[in-house]
Amino acid sequence: MTITTCIFDAYGTLFDVAAAARQAAAEPGNEALAKTWPKLSEYWRLKQLQYSWLRAVMDEHTDFWQVTQDGLDWSLEACGLDGDAALRDRLLALYLELQAYPEVPKMLADLKAAGMNTAILSNGSPDMLKGAVDSAGIGNVLDDVLSVESVGVFKPARQVYDLVGERFGCNDDEVLFVSSNGWDAGAASGYGFTTAWVNRGGDPVDRLPGKPHHILSDLTTIPDIARS
């Protein structure tokens, strides 16, 4: 069936999750962070995801902002930077204003010009997502921003992917789902979506029941895939 609806994960897919640590590391007074920011950024993202999965398994849901803070606190301690309250506050403030990848605005505009529905489907809390969308200036090329907070469980729970059909009234095979997370793309494939995995780091495919239909190095070709 023809693709009518393009759905995007947010963090790492549309928004550069390394941008907060990278920007803070370049600011005066953060010389200690400058020496270790890539490791901190990697830890932060890993713990953010791990805590979301563990909370889902334990049925201990909290919003993604709390998970983001918990992941940062672990990472700061692991990098020997815990105790610097000003640095913590700065990193969190920058996370609310993450930069979009350069190709994102044109890619979304091209999808809208082709008559596609476009939306975010994210673990992020509504306030976090609003901050990122507003900072990136892409609200005018998105039809909606869907958060897991409406179902109270993190991806890859099936209830999260259900939100797409409920919002747009589309069949599963009309959806192109795009994520930078291999596990997310795999789960969405198993759910019934056509999926594109944005594999910016050249990682191996996750060993999961579902596999992504397309593997890309960035988002540039998403409009071509959606129209094909």
Annotated catalytic residue within 9, 16, 63, 184: 9
The order of strands in the sheet holding 117-122 is 144-147, 117-122, 5-8, 175-179, 194-198, 214-216
**Which residues sit opposite 118 in a β-bridge?**
6
Task: Give the whole-angstrom CA distance, residue 202 versus residue 198.
Answer: 9
Q: The tokens of 141 are what?
A: 């090329």
Answer yes or no: 172 catalytic: no
Residue 62 and residue 47: Cα distance in Å, rounded? 15
- Active centre residues (catalytic): 9
